[in-house]
Chains A and B, each alone.
Chain A
Amino acid sequence: MTETLIWIAVALAAVGVYLSWTAGRLDRLHARIDAARAALDAQLLRRASVAQELATSGVLDPASSIVLYEAAHAARKAEDDQREVAESELSQALRAVFADSSQLEAVREAPGGPAALGELTSAVRRVPMARRFHNDAVRAARAVRAHRVVRWFRLAGHAPFPMAFEMDDEVPDALGADAQFDAG
């Protein structure tokens, strides 16, 4: 009798340890998503700011300036549910404006141009990076949350279901990794 009780106690303790460990895992994954999301937000904001700065600098032609300004402004002001669309449109605007390498030359020759261009290049290339890290964390958290044990014991608590950030983040060719030497 005592022996059975001991075994039951051991089994319960083992289950407890497993549940606690899984909850800890999930906790860490949620923290990772939060950090990745903050990093992504920072890169997106940085990209929109530099784009807006370039648009208002008067270096680009008026039509390009307006296109870029509109897109950057919309990206900065977008509500959460419109954010993915607005940021994708900014990517498209950047690609359209810098499709022509003479624009790049114009910016580079302006005072302070190379620095602004450097910052834009770094921002447009870090957005896809940050987005991949974020979505990778989301996928890992979802995989753990899909476990039966996690669902039955509600180990995820009140944390919202993680959503991937989907957008068009293709870098303009002229600012891509292969181009930075040819252009410079």
Chain B
Amino acid sequence: MRIGIVCPYSWDVPGGVQFHIRDLAEHLIGLGHEVSVLAPADDDTPLPEYVVSAGRAVPVPYNGSVARLNFGFLSAARVRRWLHDGSFDVLHIHEPAAPSLALLACWAASGPIVGTFHTSNPRSRAMIAAYPILQPALEKISARIAVSEYARRTLVEHLGGDAVVIPNGVDVGFFSRAEPEPAWQGGTIGFIGRIDEPRKGLPALMRAFPRILEAHPGTRLLVAGRGDQEEAAAGLPPEVRGQVEFLGMVSDEDKARLLRSVDLYVAPNTGGESFGIILVEAMSAGAPVLAADLDAFRQVLDRGRAGELFPVGDADALADSAVRLLGDPAALARLREAGSRHVRRFDWGTVGADILAVYETVTAGAASVATDEPSGFLARFGRG
């Protein structure tokens, strides 16, 4: 099958959607399909051979943070050329409602189109204003995929219609086969995420940590992620500060080893998550998970059966749960086991098969993807 995938966000900047598209493309190529990804990228960044650059992205404030997006006539022309050259059987557009490449591709293409909705932002005024512009483009999408039940609900409320839920995929084997690092073992709690992004929730964990340390002396907190370490650790008493280790940005390999090594993985996020891939990665590595009770996390953790949940932003509850779990090896073993079993639902083998099933459902008997020529008006007069 010839598959065209459109990535709305800049390929140079790491992010959940970009990683998902990279893994999906590589999984599909591994199965023998022809895949081309159209993504914004600087001209001098090295790209994998299946990625086609749509030009440089411009930073714009969108959806609560700064996103790097593409728009304008030049980008629109590149989208058309890519569609024309690719002659795809199916076009898979990610985040079609984002004012970016995805929307441009939606306008420019006709034929079997699949759209994946990643975000679950509350209804904004911009969305309401843009509705008449979005709707004609979005109604070309033959099949909608939402990455979680939560994302599906947002989609149904904002845009109407329906979607199938297919979670983001993870290479479970990559995490479960990683070698634990002895330096990171022995009474350790793990956290991975941007330090300076408040929605990742590190401050709550920092507030809870002194109490955890009191109950289990010698426990270490390993923090991996970008951001200002001194600012994050400010206000901690010196004896507590000594038990917190900042690892900075870690490679994918080190992330897997870290997750394999820790006794407990804590996800104290306070919002802005529509899926929670990091929890799936932690479960793949067999790390017991303690997470904030966000809708998205609750669903990824099988309504709390594959990991413990605590009320969002509640540092005391976080400390209570962590103290109890660290003092109960049997409970930790149970979480490890439940997580490892549940996570197979998210393996690329399962997720990839579901996505291919969607492709096959929409392409059955349909023509291939073409550029949607705006000649309909004249043609109509000629016909009428």
Contacts and interface: CB of A to CB of B under 8 A. Distances in A.
A136 B144 CA distance: 9
Nearest to A22: B136
A25 B162 contact: no
B377 A130 contact: no
A129 interface: yes
Interface in A50-75: none
A36 B139 contact: no
A133 interface: yes
Contacts, number: 80
Nearest to B110: A28
B121 interface: no
Interface string B349-378: 010001001100110111000000000110
Contacts of A135: 162
Quick one: which of B160, B161, B354 has the most chain A CB within 10 A? B161
A6 B112 CA distance: 42
B164 A128 contact: yes
Quick one: which of A16, A135, A177 has the most chain B CB within 10 A? A177
A125 B15 CA distance: 31
B344 interface: yes
A33 to B, nearest CB: 10
Given A35-B142, A139-B160, A140-B139, A24 B357 contact: no
Contacts of A39: 361-362, 364-365
A18 to B, nearest CB: 10
A128 to B, nearest CB: 7
A20 B377 contact: yes
Interface residues of A, number: 36
Contacts of A139: 160-162
B364 A38 contact: yes
A152 interface: no
Contact of B366 (A35, A126, A177): A35
A17 interface: yes
B358 A129 contact: yes
Contacts of B381: 20
A133 B345 contact: no
B5 interface: no
Contacts of A28: 110, 139-140
B377 A17 contact: yes
A29 interface: yes
A137 interface: yes
Contact of A177 (B112, B345, B361, B365): B345
B164 A140 contact: no
B161 A140 contact: yes
A181 B344 contact: yes
B357 A32 contact: no
Given A17-B377, A125-B357, A129-B358, 20 more contacts: A16-B377, A20-B377, A21-B377, A24-B376, A24-B380, A35-B112, A35-B142, A42-B364, A43-B361, A129-B357, A132-B162, A132-B164, A133-B142, A133-B143, A139-B162, A177-B350, A177-B354, A178-B342, A181-B350, A182-B341
26 contacts: A20-B381, A21-B376, A21-B377, A24-B377, A25-B136, A25-B139, A28-B140, A32-B140, A32-B142, A35-B362, A36-B142, A39-B364, A43-B361, A125-B354, A126-B357, A126-B361, A129-B358, A132-B164, A133-B362, A136-B163, A139-B161, A143-B135, A143-B160, A177-B345, A180-B350, A181-B344
